[in-house]
Structure 1
């Protein structure tokens, strides 16, 4: 009887995750499914044969570098929080936010370069898909910037430190996810434009 009770107790403690972290992971899975559907539709529509051939603007190369660098800076914020170096953590959070804004500005400049090439949202499906893919990613990045702002406010109120990392960990996870998602989109668009 005691063995059965201890086994049940052990099974109950095998998997513990903060409910908000679990919700974040579910949300990220749904985002993956959304982009899988969009990129699959892109490939199917491209096979129809009526597809505008164009070059991706070079500014997308720069935004890719920016998003990778911002991910490194976000990881540094987490590292400094674990060591209770609060001032450095705050600086890294702010640098992450600034780089995220730089990424969004770069994406906007990329859209302008596309218009100069004659690639529009309406007209050819190639342009439509490009704007939708980058726009939906940009929207998610804006949500991550809001998340960073919430965490930064908490950090300035000394609510983020080595004993209270859940919020920052979730923010970093989401930020890294969006960086990886952009790199996937960038490679996909580079290989399939």
Structure 2
């Protein structure tokens, strides 16, 4: 419950910030100036694609928040035995961080119109993200070989569910990143703005998925227990 409350508070803050830029409380019939000036002040400067991505990430965040809350509630059961964290997860985490860094590099180069460095950055981001997914599959096989199968206990089920769902979102992001890479090959000066926007959207998505993964890793390693206890004290 505490995780849901914290997440909803964050979403409310983001929505409130966005709505404040829409001038919903303005009274245009009382404003003085030319009509063109009034039109220029209306609306949000954010592209529709960024707003759509923000809504999608809010839904994804709500999904993971519900699952994390269920994880925290279920772990109090007597039949809960947390599986060991495979050391390979730390390597996978490094791969995902490297992928996010490469995406940020691609965004910077796209803003500078550096097409060639941007292509290299996109390739690096794609390759490291693929390595992250491959590493996750290998970690699954290591746990299964050690006897920590899906139906053994609820802790195993939650581990496979959360990591699998996160991996599916990374896989979907790779499909969009692949389209961005193809666009980078065929880009022309007239489409540079669209390529820059697509790169920024991919970078935002990648950073969000990194934050989600770090939260999941904190749960699996037990680092989040102290934070959860503090949140429960705050909302109780």
TM-score, shorter chain, exceeding 0.5: yes
- The residue that corresponds to 1:57 in the other structure is 86
Given candidates 34, 38, 45, the residue that maps to 1:16 is: 45
2:140 equivalent to 1:140: no
Report the Cα distance in structure 2 between the residues aligned to 1:53 and 1:87, rounded to whole angstroms. Answer: 46
Given candidates 162, 169, 180, the residue that maps to 2:211 is: 180
3-state SS in 2 of match to 1:84: coil
2:183 equivalent to 1:154: yes
TM-score of the two chains, using structure 2 as the length reference: 0.75
Shift of the 5–114 alpha-carbon distance from structure 1 to 2, 3 Å rule, reads farther
- The residue that corresponds to 1:190 in the other structure is 221
2:95 equivalent to 1:66: yes
1:2-151 matches, within 5 Å, as 4=31, 6=33, 9=39, 12-13=42-43, 15-151=44-180
CA contact 1:83–1:162 (8 Å) conserved in 2: no
3-state SS in 2 of match to 1:41: helix
RMSD: 2.2
Report the Cα distance in structure 1 between the residues aligned to 2:194 and 2:158, rounded to whole angstroms. Answer: 44
**Bigger CA drift: 162-171 or 173-182?**
162-171
CA contact 1:84–1:162 (8 Å) conserved in 2: no
3-state SS in 1 of match to 2:129: helix
CA contact 2:180–2:195 (8 Å) conserved in 1: no
CA contact 2:102–2:124 (8 Å) conserved in 1: yes
CA displacement at 1:157 relative to structure 2: 0.8
Bigger relative contact order, structure 1 or 2, given CA contacts below 8 A and separation 6+? 1
Listed one character per residue, the Cα deviations across residues 33-56 of structure 1 (whole Å, up to 9, x for unaligned) are 111100110111111221123211
TM-score of the two chains, using structure 1 as the length reference: 0.91
2:198 equivalent to 1:171: no
CA displacement at 1:2 relative to structure 2: 7.4
CA displacement at 1:58 relative to structure 2: 0.5
Give unmatched runs, 5+ long, in structure 1: none
Q: How many residue pairs align between the two structures?
A: 192
**Bigger CA drift: 4-13 or 150-159?**
4-13
